[in-house]
């Protein structure tokens, strides 16, 4: 992934997803109560989104908030049930694994249609994979999770007959069922744009289905289709009348007619709108929990607790030793610090995560020590030997002094050459929890004699630095997670689009001279390839255990706190099956409004 997003909706499409937030705007401009007067008679769900969508073209999307919207609009062949953890057929009716373990044959459901009434067929599946996801002329992060083995080869996709399609892999690939949750796209609407090239020789597809596209031109197969988008105000979805799912009595699903997503670029504003009745649901951050818990009965809502969230939050340093246009991406002095493993370990020991849990998270969280979500069967616990970094400032100082750092008379940390240790820590502005975490990290490291300039910046600026200019020192970020570790393969592959701590330039970006991959870094990438080809579950677990040991020893990402997954939802919704993996509305098609 190239800072590809893929928050809740993309969990089901097996791409890691980045957590997003932004700056505050006034309440009046986006309050959904302003919309109710014209639509109150229509059964609707009013959610919120933290920023305007980047695009409605799924393969090109790189934003977490947008991913939530796209999850309403598109289905794939498969999905993982967030309650049972089992894979389920979605657009596919069934599948079979070939005898040689290298092929998956999917049978498509009969009678599928697109939102414009046109039939959805095997040809759409072939188009989606061969012409879009596997097309080297289209820079999509989906291709990263489709790559298989050391050769990073891509699967072969062919039509068998009117209802069957076969995917062939060059070697066994255990995560393949999850990968095939990628959304299927309409050939009749998009094929011409893939084949037509612009003046630069690029597919016109790259400029299609932007945020300025008329809603009726965006053809979908999910439970909802786009009705209207008002920039910086709201996105409105209407029920897709051709959606394939049926209820117990054969009735069409989904049951909720309309979903309204006002753009609310501040979690504080979202809270105010929920409390005033303007929103039907809101994520419950720890600083809101006590307030909302007291109002639960009066406000006629329920706070759902799914236990530890599936995501991770971490601080990480820019380990890229490369140069662009002859200029180092990272100040060579800082680069020496960041690329010293003892320095990163010292930082990990210096961060008081338990105080972070007690203060910032109000006790509603637990320490995180692994890149793999705790719900995953591949997670390695500290009890099983995973290295942890509990708060230990004395150990931190010992490690720093071991590799030549020293203190001056003022208690400031200097490196062996006498340079004061000072760097900038970035995160996205507008997320109070993350801003509080960053402030504490700066304070904790300040006690180590480091000068940390904590700087929350606008989300788009932040992601541009991480994915494009690569002009940054240290960052605080979070990813969503899934039960399948391979969903994060493009984070751990040195060639991957989300290998942010040592990012290789992606398609269309300026080249980097002198880009290096550390041996431990390459080893993690190799192990992810091995684990993906291993079909024996016990052996897969052992391989992923080794990856977790390496990441915790070398700390390319310093994991912090895993909050509990909490959401407040109005009691008027029946059918909620809350889970940390899927949230409150993962089964939106079967949820009903009761009053």
Domain boundary among 191, 211, 245: 191
34 in any annotated domain? yes
The answer to whether residues 341 and 355 belong to one domain is yes
- 101: DSSP letter: S
Q: How confident is the model at residue 16 (pLDDT cuts 50, 70, 90)?
A: very low
Tell me the CATH number at 98: 3.90.76.10
Q: How confident is the model at residue 41 (pLDDT cuts 50, 70, 90)?
A: low
Residue 147, pLDDT score? 84
9 in any annotated domain? no
Residue 29, pLDDT score? 38
Question: pLDDT tens digit string along 398-418?
Answer: 999 999 999 999 999 999 999
The answer to whether residues 536 and 571 belong to one domain is no
Question: pLDDT tens digit string along 284-308?
Answer: 988 889 999 999 999 999 999 999 9
Residue 43, pLDDT score? 87
The answer to whether residues 472 and 423 belong to one domain is yes
363 in any annotated domain? yes
The answer to whether residues 256 and 334 belong to one domain is no
Long-range contacts of 94-98 (CB under 8 A, 24+ apart): 95/177, 98/166
Question: pLDDT tens digit string along 499-556?
Answer: 999 999 877 788 999 999 999 999 999 999 999 889 899 999 999 999 999 999 999 9
Tell me the CATH number at 336: 3.10.105.10
Long-range contacts of 290-294 (CB under 8 A, 24+ apart): 290/362, 292/568
Q: 406 or 146: whose pLDDT is higher?
A: 406
- The predicted model scores a pTM of 0.75
Q: Does residue 217 carry a pLDDT above 70? A: yes
524 in any annotated domain? yes
Domain boundary among 191, 210, 237: 191
- For residues 402 and 413, give the distance between their C-alpha atoms in angstroms, rounded to a whole number: 13
CA-nearest of 333, 345, 452 to 399 is: 345
Tell me the CATH number at 48: 3.40.190.10
460 in any annotated domain? yes
The per-residue pLDDT of the chain, averaged, comes to 90
The answer to whether residues 179 and 303 belong to one domain is no
The answer to whether residues 476 and 576 belong to one domain is no
Residues in Cβ contact with 22 at an 8 Å cutoff, skipping those fewer than 6 apart? 50, 51, 265, 266, 428, 429, 430, 458, 459
The 3-state DSSP class for residue 486 equals helix
The answer to whether residues 161 and 104 belong to one domain is yes
- For residues 16 and 178, give the distance between their C-alpha atoms in angstroms, rounded to a whole number: 12
Domain boundary among 191, 214, 235: 191
| Most confident range, picked from 5-14, 260-269, 538-547 | 538-547
The answer to whether residues 172 and 87 belong to one domain is yes
The answer to whether residues 403 and 456 belong to one domain is yes
Q: How far is CA 236 from CA 29, 482, 550, in A?
A: 16, 28, 45
> What total of structural domains would you count in the chain?
3
- For residues 592 and 124, give the distance between their C-alpha atoms in angstroms, rounded to a whole number: 31
204 in any annotated domain? no
Question: pLDDT tens digit string along 407-452?
Answer: 999 999 999 999 999 999 999 998 888 999 999 999 999 999 999 9
Question: pLDDT tens digit string along 307-333?
Answer: 998 889 999 999 999 999 999 999 999
User: C-alpha 566: how far from its chain's center?
Assistant: 18
The full DSSP string for 178-243 is HHTTSBP--HHHHHHHHH-B-TTS-BGGGGSS-TTS-GGG----SSEEEEEEETTTEEEEEE-TT-
Average pLDDT (56-84) is: 90
Average pLDDT (193-208) is: 96
The answer to whether residues 554 and 570 belong to one domain is no
216 in any annotated domain? no
The answer to whether residues 69 and 83 belong to one domain is no
Kind and range of the H or E run holding 79: strand 78-80
* Phi-psi domain of 555 (left: phi exceeds 0; alpha: psi -120 through 50; beta: other): left
The answer to whether residues 166 and 285 belong to one domain is no
206 in any annotated domain? no
Question: Residue with structure tokens 């960041």?
Answer: 338
Average pLDDT (350-373) is: 95
Give residue 276's domain range: 20-74+222-309+564-593
């Amino acid at each position: 992934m190239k800072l590809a997003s893929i928050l809740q909706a993309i969990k089901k499409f097996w791409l890691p997803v980045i957590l997003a937030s932004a700056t505050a705007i006034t309440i009046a401009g986006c309050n959904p109560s302003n919309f109710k007067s014209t639509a109150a008679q229509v059964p609707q769900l009013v959610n919120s989104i933290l920023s305007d969508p980047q695009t409605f073209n799924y393969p090109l999307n790189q934003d977490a908030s947008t991913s939530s919207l796209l999850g309403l609009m598109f289905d794939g062949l498969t999905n993982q049930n967030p309650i049972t953890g089992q894979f389920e057929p979605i657009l596919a009716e069934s599948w079979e694994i070939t005898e040689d373990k290298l092929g998956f044959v999917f049978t498509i459901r009969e009678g599928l249609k697109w939102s414009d009434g046109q039939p959805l067929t095997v040809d759409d599946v072939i188009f989606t994979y061969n012409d879009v996801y596997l097309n080297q002329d289209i820079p999509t992060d989906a291709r990263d999770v489709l790559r298989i083995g050391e050769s990073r080869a891509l699967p072969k996709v062919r039509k068998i007959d009117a209802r069957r399609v076969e995917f062939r892999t060059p070697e066994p690939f255990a995560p393949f069922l999850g990968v095939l949750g990628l959304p299927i796209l309409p050939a009749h609407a998009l094929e011409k744009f893939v084949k037509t090239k612009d003046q630069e020789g690029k597919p016109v597809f790259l400029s299609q289905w932007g945020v300025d596209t008329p809603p009726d031109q965006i053809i979908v197969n999910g439970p909802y289709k786009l009705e209207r988008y008002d920039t910086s105000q709201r996105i409105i979805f209407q029920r897709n009348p051709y959606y394939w799912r049926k209820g117990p009595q054969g009735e069409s699903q989904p049951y909720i007619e309309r979903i309204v997503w006002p753009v609310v670029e501040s979690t504080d504003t979202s809270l105010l709108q929920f409390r005033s009745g303007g929103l039907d649901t809101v994520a419950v951050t720890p600083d809101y929990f006590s307030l909302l818990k007291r109002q639960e009965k009066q406000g006629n809502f329920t706070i759902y607790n799914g236990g530890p969230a599936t995501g991770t939050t971490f601080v990480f340093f820019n380990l890229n030793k490369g140069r662009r246009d002859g200029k180092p991406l990272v100040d060579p002095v800082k680069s020496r610090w960041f690329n010293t493993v003892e320095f990163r370990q010292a930082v990990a020991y210096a961060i008081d995560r338990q105080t972070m849990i007690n203060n910032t998270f109000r006790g509603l969280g637990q320490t995180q020590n692994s890149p793999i979500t705790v719900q995953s069967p591949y997670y390695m616990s500290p009890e099983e030997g995973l290295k942890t970094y509990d708060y230990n400032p004395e150990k931190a100082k010992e490690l720093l002094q071991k590799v030549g750092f020293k203190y001056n008379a003022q208690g400031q940390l200097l490196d062996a050459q006498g340079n004061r240790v000072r760097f900038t820590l970035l995160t996205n502005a507008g997320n109070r929890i993350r801003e509080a975490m960053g402030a504490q990290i700066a304070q904790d490291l300040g006690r180590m004699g480091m000068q940390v300039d904590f700087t929350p910046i606008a989300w788009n600026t932040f992601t541009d630095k991480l994915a494009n200019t690569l002009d940054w020192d240290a960052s605080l970020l979070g990813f969503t997670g899934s039960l399948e570790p391979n969903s994060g393969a493009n984070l751990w592959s040195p060639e991957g689009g989300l290998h942010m701590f040592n990012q290789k330039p992606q398609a269309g970006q300026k080249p980097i001279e002198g880009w290096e991959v550390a041996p431990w870094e390459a080893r993690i990438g190799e192990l992810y390839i091995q684990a993906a080809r291993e079909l024996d579950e016990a052996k897969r677990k052992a391989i992923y255990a080794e990856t977790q040991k390496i990441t915790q020893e070398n700390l390319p990402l310093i994991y912090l706190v895993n909050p509990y997954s909490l959401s407040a939802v109005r009691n008027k919704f029946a059918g909620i099956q809350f889970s940390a993996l899927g949230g409150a509305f993962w089964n939106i098609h079967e949820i009903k409004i009761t009053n």
